[in-house]
Copies of this chain bind each other. A is one copy, B any other.
Amino acid sequence: MAAEALDQLIRLLAKLPGLGPRSARRAALFLLRHREGLMVQLAGALRAAAAEVHPCSLCGNLDGADPCRICTDPRRTSDQILVVEDVDDLWAMERGGLFRGRYHVLGGTLSALAGIGPEDLGIERLLGRIERDEVAEVVLATGVTVDGQTTAHYVAERIARLAERDHPVRVTRLAHGLPVGGELNYLDEGTLEAALRARQSVA
């Protein structure tokens, strides 16, 4: 019924999270009605971001610079690292301006089922940063899910072993003001701030 180019566009749009076939069709029509103002611009933004935006080799944040602007910001303290599952969790913390240290983005959680082990989450890289930057505190901010908490526990253990051999590191986790079962990036800034303030030692 429609052109191949249009079918292909709808097919690709439908792969985006939050869009199904019907909303992909609606989005495609909307784009064709806003050709110059949106459609061509979006094509350019996709190409630009695909070419320019990459994970930071230190912390895993997505940025145009490597190391990213958070890792190189001289106004931020490098003796605190907040560990998150994903980049959108980092964004959620940053939107509130809640934390002035550095981040470590795991890129997921440990999962026997999905075959995700410590080597997939850059945990050696985190331990290396802790030693090299003389990090005084690691804040574990993974989600309050089974996998998130298992991962936090594993990271805390690895850091504890490291601290025995070397310099002491305080390991904290966000307070359990977070709703159980929730994901970090869906929470409001007030809850995130309360949880950050009430963070508790686990090692």
- A116 CB within 8 Å of chain B: no
Q: Which of B8, B18, B30, B47 contacts A40 (CB 8 A)?
A: B47
A29 touches B86 (CB 8 A): yes
Chain B nearest CB from A106 CB (Å) reads 14
Q: Pick the residue among B17, B27, B51, B94 that contacts A16 (CB under 8 A).
A: B27
From B28, B41, B63, B91, A3 is in contact (CB under 8 Å) with: B63
Is B5 within 8 A of A53, CB to CB?
Answer: yes
Contacts of A186 in B (CB 8 A): 22
Produce 1/0 per residue, A60-81, CB < 8 A to B: 0111110001100000000000
Q: 1/0 per position for A1-41, CB-CB distance to B under 8 A?
A: 11111101100110111110011011111111011001111
Cβ of A46 to closest chain B Cβ, rounded Å? 4
Integer count of this chain's copies in the complex: 2
Q: Please, which residues of chain B bring their CB within 8 A of the CB of A19?
A: 16, 18-19, 27
Residues of B within 8 A of A8 (CB): 45, 48-49
The reply to whether A52 and B18 contact each other, CB–CB distance below 8 Å, is: no
CB contact under 8 A between A2 and B43, given known A18-B27, A30-B16? no
